[in-house]
């Protein structure tokens, strides 16, 4: 009983995640993993937060401009809002092939949230019909490199590599 309770509490403090899984959730949880050391570090970083957010917005704007003419789309911001771009999530056709190509070119990417919320155990009961937009996003979203210290030449390289990978017919291993 104590072991089960401990397991449940660990899951609840980590967004309800299943132990050992990054994207499977059994419970509706919360993010309660902050300890005193993390609080001290984050407090020290707070003074730089606005500058870092602006740097990420600038990088996102460069990605958006570079991909404006093609099939690659960054997730849109709602009118009147300003994202902080903790992730640079793009909708990319043939994601797995493109991701392999980018990996071969030395560009790291991520697939964040490959399982839509409505397919997570705590939320299944709320999906009363098909959710094709969520399903499609789970299949084609790819997170591009994003951090405030990404240099202009690195952003340009990512943009070129993504465009090259999207237009390539097959994975080219260097």
10 in any annotated domain? yes
Same domain, 10 and 96: no
Q: Give residue 59's pLDDT.
A: 98
Q: Give residue 159's pLDDT.
A: 97
172 in any annotated domain? no
38 in any annotated domain? no
16 in any annotated domain? yes
pLDDT digits (tens, 9 = 90+) for 70-116: 899 998 889 999 999 999 999 999 999 999 999 999 999 999 989 99
42 in any annotated domain? no
Same domain, 104 and 154: yes
Same domain, 68 and 149: yes
Contact yes or no for 66/157 (Cβ under 8 A) = no
Mean pLDDT per 10-residue section of the chain, whose length is 174 residues: 85 83 82 82 94 98 94 90 95 95 97 90 89 94 97 98 88 52
Q: How far is CA 8 from the centre of its chain?
A: 26
Query: Which residues, in sequence order, are CB contacts of 97 under 8 Å at separation 6+?
Result: 165, 168, 170, 171
Same domain, 108 and 55: yes
Same domain, 154 and 114: yes
Strand segments (E) across the chain: 73-74, 88-91, 141-144
64 in any annotated domain? yes
Same domain, 27 and 52: no
Any bridge partners for residue 90, and if so which? 74, 142
Same domain, 74 and 146: yes
Q: Range of 143's domain?
A: 48-167
State how many domains the chain has. Answer: 2
43 in any annotated domain? no
Same domain, 161 and 101: yes
Q: Give residue 85's pLDDT.
A: 96
Q: Give residue 19's pLDDT.
A: 85
């Amino acid at each position: 009983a104590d072991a089960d309770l401990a397991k449940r509490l660990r899951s609840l403090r980590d967004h309800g995640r299943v132990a050992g899984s990054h994207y499977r959730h059994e419970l509706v949880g919360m993010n309660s993993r902050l300890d005193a050391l993390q609080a001290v570090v984050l407090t020290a970083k707070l003074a730089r937060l606005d500058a870092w957010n602006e740097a990420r917005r600038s990088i996102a704007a460069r990605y958006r401009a570079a991909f404006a003419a093609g099939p690659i789309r960054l997730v849109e911001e709602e009118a009147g809002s300003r994202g902080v771009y903790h992730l640079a999530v793009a909708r990319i056709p043939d994601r797995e092939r493109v991701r392999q190509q980018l990996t071969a070119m030395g560009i790291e990417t991520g697939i964040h949230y490959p399982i839509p919320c409505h397919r997570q155990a705590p939320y299944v009961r709320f999906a009363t019909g098909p959710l094709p937009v969520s399903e499609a996003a789970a299949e084609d979203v790819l997170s591009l490199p994003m951090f405030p210290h990404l240099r202009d030449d690195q952003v340009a390289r990512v943009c070129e590599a993504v465009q090259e990978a999207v237009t390539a017919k097959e994975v080219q291993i260097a």
